[in-house]
Amino acid sequence: MLLPTGRLLTKMSRNAFSGRYGYFRTKWRAVTEGRILFREASALLAFLRRSGCTFHRCADLYRQPVSRGISYRYDVHVRDIPGCRSFVEFHRKEGIPATFFFFWDYSPLERKHFQEYKELRKLIVGSSEVGHHDSPVDAFLIANRFRGNRREYATWADSEGAVRWLTRLAEDPVELARFNDSVLTEFIARVRQAQVHFGPISLIAGHGGELGQVLRKKLPKMNPAAAKIAQNLRARHWLTPNRLAAAGLEACVDRNNYAPQGWFEASDDGGLMTKMARVLGRRLEQTTAVQLLLHPYTWAGGKRDAELSELLNSGTALSSAAALAT
């Protein structure tokens, strides 16, 4: 039996298996830190307004990027739900559009909170919209190869067994095509269910997924053909225009080979608010369109390396491009 490495256990505790604890912890902290969340969100919005930005839905800005156009993208995992309620209220009060991408049908953990996603959907009105958040390949493997057991899947993804599987796919184009067709069939069904439950959905945001995350450092040592397959199975690359069209979706709002020119992203990923402020400042100096990729948990319970309000007031977001080369 394969045992998870210490590195993988740490990653799993941050992601899948901190889901329940993270959710309840965030639910409590979303109340106690509500003022902080609104303070930080207000500071960001005030900075963007002072910078002459305009605000758009993700679909509109992706379709037609405009100089200093801003779109708010929220990836909503289970642990993000409590903080997301506060962001929905914030956008409603400010009259600023946002797109909330629901990560609701990835594994049994997310499905247990389906009713909370339904209740959250009722709060999203006006110019804001809902999108689908997914990693089709990971979701397919979890459901079909590991019977919904995300822990077993994560252990396998970090093993030599996953590398051998990718090598076999690289050596057998027919098997690879068959696998992709199976993933696509289930993905189309999942998107249609999302549209039934949450109303019209035209956008998807790719989820990193266990396979892509744990293999990232292994890619340089892998067989080049297998490494290319691993890259192409990541959601942001797997979601090609043809597959999106088959599912009735307009676009995948990730930075990939299909993203429009003049459109970039600034993210709070990992709680690295300093990096987010600097990237945002650089993009605004270059007068490009910017999609803000935000995770409510980061703002309502998660760790942050700094408070965004302090960074913006200190001028960190206006640092020169030379200081941003990271």
What pLDDT, in 10s, does the model give residues 80-93?
A: 999 999 999 999 99
**Cβ(30)–Cβ(88) below 8 Å:** no
266 within domain boundaries: yes
14 within domain boundaries: yes
261 within domain boundaries: yes
Strand runs labelled E in the chain: 54-56, 69-76, 99-102, 129-134, 203-206, 251-252, 263-267, 289-294
User: Residue 96's pLDDT is what?
Assistant: 97
101 contacts: CB under 8 Å, gap ≥ 6: 73, 74, 75, 76, 130, 131, 132, 133, 203, 204, 205
In this predicted structure, the answer to whether residue 213 has a pLDDT above a threshold of 80 is: yes
Phi then psi for residue 267, to 5 deg, are: -125, 150
Q: Model confidence at 30, in pLDDT bands (50, 70, 90)?
A: low
In this predicted structure, the answer to whether residue 78 has a pLDDT above a threshold of 90 is: yes
**Lowest-pLDDT range of 29-38, 116-125, 154-163:** 29-38
In this predicted structure, the answer to whether residue 22 has a pLDDT above a threshold of 70 is: no
244 contacts: CB under 8 Å, gap ≥ 6: 204, 250, 251, 252
Distance from C-alpha of 84 to C-alpha of 299, rounded to nearest angstrom: 9
In this predicted structure, the answer to whether residue 104 has a pLDDT above a threshold of 80 is: yes
Across-strand partners of 267? Answer: 293
Q: Model confidence at 15, in pLDDT bands (50, 70, 90)?
A: low
In this predicted structure, the answer to whether residue 13 has a pLDDT above a threshold of 80 is: no
Mean pLDDT, rounded, of the chain: 89
Q: Model confidence at 320, in pLDDT bands (50, 70, 90)?
A: very low
Segment 109-131 mean pLDDT: 95
User: Residue 2's pLDDT is what?
Assistant: 43
207 within domain boundaries: yes
193 within domain boundaries: yes
In this predicted structure, the answer to whether residue 134 has a pLDDT above a threshold of 90 is: yes
Segment 100-115 mean pLDDT: 94
User: Residue 112's pLDDT is what?
Assistant: 94
User: Residue 316's pLDDT is what?
Assistant: 66
Segment 201-225 mean pLDDT: 91
Domain of residue 108, residue span = 6-324
In this predicted structure, the answer to whether residue 323 has a pLDDT above a threshold of 50 is: no
**Lowest-pLDDT range of 145-149, 187-191, 318-322:** 318-322
Number of domains observed in the structure of the chain: 1
User: Residue 184's pLDDT is what?
Assistant: 98
1 within domain boundaries: no
Q: Model confidence at 260, in pLDDT bands (50, 70, 90)?
A: very high
Distance from C-alpha of 172 to C-alpha of 193, rounded to nearest angstrom: 32
**Lowest-pLDDT range of 20-34, 161-175, 242-256:** 20-34
Q: How far is CA 76 from CA 120, 152, 182, 275, 283, in A?
A: 10, 24, 26, 21, 25
pLDDT digits (tens, 9 = 90+) for 150-189: 999 999 999 999 999 999 999 999 999 999 999 999 999 9
112 within domain boundaries: yes
